Structure 1
Protein backbone atom coordinates (compact mmCIF):
# COMPACT_ATOMS: atom_id res chain seq x y z
CA UNK A 1 0.00 0.00 0.00
CA UNK A 2 1.40 3.32 -1.08
CA UNK A 3 2.32 6.18 1.21
CA UNK A 4 0.19 9.23 1.79
CA UNK A 5 -0.16 11.22 -1.41
CA UNK A 6 -1.66 14.63 -2.00
CA UNK A 7 -4.65 12.85 -3.59
CA UNK A 8 -5.38 10.67 -0.56
CA UNK A 9 -8.71 11.61 1.04
CA UNK A 10 -8.33 12.59 4.68
CA UNK A 11 -10.79 12.01 7.53
CA UNK A 12 -13.22 14.82 8.24
CA UNK A 13 -14.91 12.91 11.07
CA UNK A 14 -13.85 9.98 13.26
CA UNK A 15 -16.41 8.42 15.62
CA UNK A 16 -15.88 5.54 18.01
CA UNK A 17 -19.03 3.56 18.85
CA UNK A 18 -17.94 1.61 21.95
CA UNK A 19 -21.09 -0.50 22.44
CA UNK A 20 -21.11 -1.79 18.86
CA UNK A 21 -17.27 -1.82 18.75
CA UNK A 22 -17.21 0.18 15.50
CA UNK A 23 -14.90 2.93 14.32
CA UNK A 24 -16.65 5.13 11.77
CA UNK A 25 -14.57 7.41 9.56
CA UNK A 26 -15.91 9.88 7.01
CA UNK A 27 -13.32 10.96 4.45
CA UNK A 28 -13.01 14.25 2.54
CA UNK A 29 -14.33 12.63 -0.67
CA UNK A 30 -17.63 11.83 1.10
CA UNK A 31 -17.00 8.10 1.61
CA UNK A 32 -17.78 6.73 5.08
CA UNK A 33 -16.34 3.43 6.28
CA UNK A 34 -17.26 1.46 9.41
CA UNK A 35 -14.58 -0.85 10.75
CA UNK A 36 -15.13 -3.35 13.53
CA UNK A 37 -12.58 -3.19 16.33
CA UNK A 38 -11.80 -6.85 15.63
CA UNK A 39 -11.04 -6.10 11.95
CA UNK A 40 -8.68 -3.24 12.83
CA UNK A 41 -6.99 -5.36 15.51
CA UNK A 42 -6.38 -8.41 13.32
CA UNK A 43 -5.14 -6.20 10.48
CA UNK A 44 -2.97 -3.98 12.69
CA UNK A 45 -0.13 -2.48 10.65
CA UNK A 46 2.31 -3.27 13.48
CA UNK A 47 5.37 -5.48 12.98
CA UNK A 48 3.95 -7.70 15.76
CA UNK A 49 1.03 -8.60 13.45
CA UNK A 50 2.45 -8.08 9.96
CA UNK A 51 5.86 -9.57 10.66
CA UNK A 52 9.01 -8.16 9.09
CA UNK A 53 8.33 -9.27 5.53
CA UNK A 54 5.93 -11.08 3.19
CA UNK A 55 4.72 -14.40 4.56
CA UNK A 56 5.64 -13.50 8.15
CA UNK A 57 2.17 -12.32 9.15
CA UNK A 58 1.03 -13.56 12.56
CA UNK A 59 -2.56 -14.83 12.61
CA UNK A 60 -4.46 -13.02 15.37
CA UNK A 61 -6.88 -15.28 17.23
CA UNK A 62 -9.40 -14.72 20.02
CA UNK A 63 -10.07 -11.07 19.10
CA UNK A 64 -13.87 -11.18 18.60
CA UNK A 65 -14.64 -9.18 21.76
CA UNK A 66 -11.72 -6.70 21.52
CA UNK A 67 -12.59 -3.02 21.70
CA UNK A 68 -10.77 0.25 21.05
CA UNK A 69 -9.98 2.03 24.31
CA UNK A 70 -8.13 5.07 22.92
CA UNK A 71 -7.50 6.92 19.68
CA UNK A 72 -4.45 9.18 19.55
CA UNK A 73 -3.60 11.43 16.58
CA UNK A 74 -0.15 11.03 15.03
CA UNK A 75 0.76 14.22 13.19
CA UNK A 76 -1.64 15.04 10.37
CA UNK A 77 -1.39 11.63 8.74
CA UNK A 78 -2.41 8.82 11.12
CA UNK A 79 -3.99 7.61 14.34
CA UNK A 80 -2.69 5.19 16.93
CA UNK A 81 -5.29 2.85 18.40
CA UNK A 82 -5.06 1.31 21.86
CA UNK A 83 -7.10 -1.89 22.06
CA UNK A 84 -8.66 -3.50 25.12
CA UNK A 85 -6.14 -6.38 24.87
CA UNK A 86 -3.29 -3.88 25.35
CA UNK A 87 -2.12 -3.81 21.71
CA UNK A 88 -1.14 -0.28 20.64
CA UNK A 89 1.87 -0.45 18.32
CA UNK A 90 0.18 0.01 14.94
CA UNK A 91 -0.03 3.39 13.21
CA UNK A 92 -3.10 3.62 11.00
CA UNK A 93 -2.35 6.20 8.31
CA UNK A 94 -5.16 7.86 6.38
CA UNK A 95 -4.25 6.04 3.15
CA UNK A 96 -4.13 2.68 4.98
CA UNK A 97 -7.55 3.26 6.56
CA UNK A 98 -8.97 4.34 3.20
CA UNK A 99 -7.55 1.21 1.50
CA UNK A 100 -8.90 -0.94 4.34
CA UNK A 101 -12.32 0.64 3.82
CA UNK A 102 -12.29 -0.07 0.09
CA UNK A 103 -11.14 -3.69 0.54
CA UNK A 104 -12.65 -4.56 3.92
CA UNK A 105 -14.99 -7.31 2.67
CA UNK A 106 -12.35 -9.35 0.85
CA UNK A 107 -9.82 -8.79 3.65
CA UNK A 108 -12.36 -10.07 6.20
CA UNK A 109 -13.14 -13.16 4.08
CA UNK A 110 -9.38 -13.86 3.75
CA UNK A 111 -9.03 -13.59 7.54
CA UNK A 112 -11.93 -16.01 8.13
CA UNK A 113 -10.41 -18.50 5.63
CA UNK A 114 -7.03 -18.29 7.38
CA UNK A 115 -8.71 -18.87 10.74
CA UNK A 116 -10.58 -21.89 9.39
CA UNK A 117 -7.43 -23.35 7.79
CA UNK A 118 -5.58 -22.94 11.10
CA UNK A 119 -8.45 -24.44 13.10
CA UNK A 120 -8.36 -21.25 15.17
CA UNK A 121 -11.14 -19.36 16.92
CA UNK A 122 -12.23 -15.75 17.01
CA UNK A 123 -13.40 -16.35 20.59
CA UNK A 124 -11.06 -15.56 23.45
CA UNK A 125 -9.82 -18.70 25.24
CA UNK A 126 -11.93 -19.35 28.32
CA UNK A 127 -15.09 -18.01 26.70
CA UNK A 128 -18.08 -20.07 25.65
CA UNK A 129 -21.07 -18.85 23.70
CA UNK A 130 -24.39 -19.54 25.37
CA UNK A 131 -27.56 -20.37 23.44
CA UNK A 132 -28.27 -16.77 22.37
CA UNK A 133 -24.76 -16.11 21.12
CA UNK A 134 -23.69 -13.86 23.99
CA UNK A 135 -20.27 -14.58 25.49
CA UNK A 136 -20.44 -16.41 28.79
CA UNK A 137 -17.40 -16.85 31.00
CA UNK A 138 -16.46 -20.47 31.46
CA UNK A 139 -16.82 -21.47 35.12
Structure 2
Protein backbone atom coordinates (compact mmCIF):
# COMPACT_ATOMS: atom_id res chain seq x y z
CA UNK A 1 0.00 0.00 0.00
CA UNK A 2 1.08 3.52 -0.68
CA UNK A 3 0.00 6.68 1.02
CA UNK A 4 0.65 10.34 0.38
CA UNK A 5 0.06 12.12 3.67
CA UNK A 6 -0.37 15.86 3.70
CA UNK A 7 -0.62 17.90 6.87
CA UNK A 8 -3.53 20.26 6.27
CA UNK A 9 -5.28 23.15 7.93
CA UNK A 10 -8.35 22.18 5.90
CA UNK A 11 -9.32 19.69 3.20
CA UNK A 12 -12.47 18.51 1.48
CA UNK A 13 -13.69 16.09 -1.17
CA UNK A 14 -16.49 16.95 -3.57
CA UNK A 15 -18.45 14.51 -5.73
CA UNK A 16 -21.08 15.79 -8.17
CA UNK A 17 -20.88 19.30 -6.66
CA UNK A 18 -21.57 17.96 -3.14
CA UNK A 19 -19.02 17.97 -0.34
CA UNK A 20 -18.88 14.36 0.86
CA UNK A 21 -16.05 14.72 3.37
CA UNK A 22 -14.21 17.60 4.99
CA UNK A 23 -11.84 18.28 7.86
CA UNK A 24 -9.97 21.14 9.39
CA UNK A 25 -6.60 20.43 11.05
CA UNK A 26 -5.26 16.98 10.31
CA UNK A 27 -4.13 14.76 7.45
CA UNK A 28 -5.36 14.40 3.91
CA UNK A 29 -4.37 10.85 3.01
CA UNK A 30 -4.33 9.63 -0.59
CA UNK A 31 -4.26 5.84 -0.38
CA UNK A 32 -3.44 3.32 -3.09
CA UNK A 33 -3.73 -0.45 -2.71
CA UNK A 34 -1.34 -2.71 -4.60
CA UNK A 35 -1.76 -6.30 -5.80
CA UNK A 36 -0.82 -8.60 -2.95
CA UNK A 37 -1.52 -6.11 -0.16
CA UNK A 38 -3.15 -7.49 2.98
CA UNK A 39 -4.60 -6.23 6.25
CA UNK A 40 -1.04 -6.29 7.59
CA UNK A 41 -0.13 -3.57 5.07
CA UNK A 42 -3.22 -1.55 5.98
CA UNK A 43 -2.44 -1.87 9.70
CA UNK A 44 1.15 -0.78 9.16
CA UNK A 45 0.14 2.33 7.23
CA UNK A 46 -2.67 3.21 9.63
CA UNK A 47 -0.36 2.87 12.64
CA UNK A 48 2.32 4.97 10.93
CA UNK A 49 -0.26 7.60 10.01
CA UNK A 50 -1.51 8.09 13.55
CA UNK A 51 2.00 7.93 15.00
CA UNK A 52 3.60 10.57 12.78
CA UNK A 53 4.88 13.44 14.90
CA UNK A 54 4.60 16.28 12.41
CA UNK A 55 2.45 18.83 14.24
CA UNK A 56 4.05 21.77 16.02
CA UNK A 57 4.53 21.77 19.78
CA UNK A 58 4.78 24.89 21.99
CA UNK A 59 8.34 25.45 20.72
CA UNK A 60 7.17 25.24 17.08
CA UNK A 61 8.96 21.90 16.60
CA UNK A 62 7.33 19.01 14.72
CA UNK A 63 6.84 16.89 17.81
CA UNK A 64 3.12 16.12 18.20
CA UNK A 65 0.99 13.42 16.60
CA UNK A 66 -2.51 13.84 15.22
CA UNK A 67 -4.27 12.76 18.43
CA UNK A 68 -2.30 15.27 20.50
CA UNK A 69 -3.57 18.16 18.35
CA UNK A 70 -7.15 16.88 18.03
CA UNK A 71 -6.72 16.42 14.28
CA UNK A 72 -8.81 14.39 11.87
CA UNK A 73 -8.05 12.28 8.79
CA UNK A 74 -9.62 12.70 5.37
CA UNK A 75 -8.84 9.46 3.53
CA UNK A 76 -9.24 9.34 -0.25
CA UNK A 77 -8.77 6.19 -2.32
CA UNK A 78 -6.41 6.79 -5.23
CA UNK A 79 -5.37 3.88 -7.41
CA UNK A 80 -3.22 6.19 -9.55
CA UNK A 81 -0.57 6.08 -6.82
CA UNK A 82 0.23 2.66 -8.27
CA UNK A 83 0.73 4.03 -11.78
CA UNK A 84 3.95 2.88 -13.41
CA UNK A 85 5.36 5.66 -15.59
CA UNK A 86 8.70 4.06 -16.48
CA UNK A 87 7.74 3.19 -20.05
CA UNK A 88 6.11 5.50 -22.55
CA UNK A 89 3.91 8.42 -21.60
CA UNK A 90 0.77 6.66 -20.39
CA UNK A 91 0.88 5.18 -16.87
CA UNK A 92 0.25 1.47 -16.48
CA UNK A 93 -1.99 0.49 -13.56
CA UNK A 94 -1.35 -3.25 -13.59
CA UNK A 95 0.05 -3.09 -10.04
CA UNK A 96 -3.18 -1.64 -8.62
CA UNK A 97 -5.30 -4.13 -6.68
CA UNK A 98 -8.66 -5.38 -7.88
CA UNK A 99 -11.27 -2.75 -6.91
CA UNK A 100 -13.11 -4.99 -4.43
CA UNK A 101 -9.92 -5.93 -2.60
CA UNK A 102 -8.79 -2.30 -2.69
CA UNK A 103 -12.11 -1.16 -1.21
CA UNK A 104 -11.85 -3.68 1.64
CA UNK A 105 -8.30 -2.66 2.51
CA UNK A 106 -9.09 1.06 2.21
CA UNK A 107 -12.01 0.59 4.61
CA UNK A 108 -9.82 -1.49 6.94
CA UNK A 109 -7.20 1.30 6.99
CA UNK A 110 -9.91 3.85 7.91
CA UNK A 111 -11.39 1.61 10.60
CA UNK A 112 -7.98 0.98 12.17
CA UNK A 113 -7.49 4.74 12.54
CA UNK A 114 -11.02 5.17 13.97
CA UNK A 115 -10.30 2.42 16.49
CA UNK A 116 -7.39 4.54 17.73
CA UNK A 117 -9.84 7.35 18.51
CA UNK A 118 -9.12 9.53 15.47
CA UNK A 119 -12.08 10.84 13.48
CA UNK A 120 -11.92 9.76 9.84
CA UNK A 121 -13.84 11.27 6.95
CA UNK A 122 -13.70 9.80 3.47
CA UNK A 123 -14.33 10.41 -0.15
CA UNK A 124 -16.41 7.95 -2.18
CA UNK A 125 -14.49 4.90 -3.33
CA UNK A 126 -13.99 4.82 -7.13
CA UNK A 127 -15.91 8.09 -7.67
CA UNK A 128 -14.68 11.02 -9.72
CA UNK A 129 -13.65 13.28 -6.83
CA UNK A 130 -12.46 16.84 -6.57
CA UNK A 131 -10.01 17.21 -3.69
CA UNK A 132 -9.35 20.61 -2.14
CA UNK A 133 -6.72 21.24 0.51
CA UNK A 134 -4.58 23.79 2.24
CA UNK A 135 -1.28 22.01 2.84
CA UNK A 136 0.13 23.34 6.08
CA UNK A 137 3.89 23.83 5.97
CA UNK A 138 3.85 22.36 3.37
CA UNK A 139 4.35 18.94 4.91
CA UNK A 140 3.90 16.00 2.53
CA UNK A 141 5.13 12.48 3.31
CA UNK A 142 5.18 9.26 1.32
CA UNK A 143 4.61 5.92 3.00
CA UNK A 144 4.88 2.53 1.35
CA UNK A 145 4.10 -0.64 3.28
CA UNK A 146 6.60 -2.53 1.13
CA UNK A 147 9.45 -0.20 2.07
CA UNK A 148 9.32 -0.57 5.83
CA UNK A 149 12.54 -2.50 6.40
Normalised to the residue count of structure 1, the TM-score between the two structures is 0.29
Larger RCO, structures 1/2 (Cα 8 Å, 6+ apart): 2
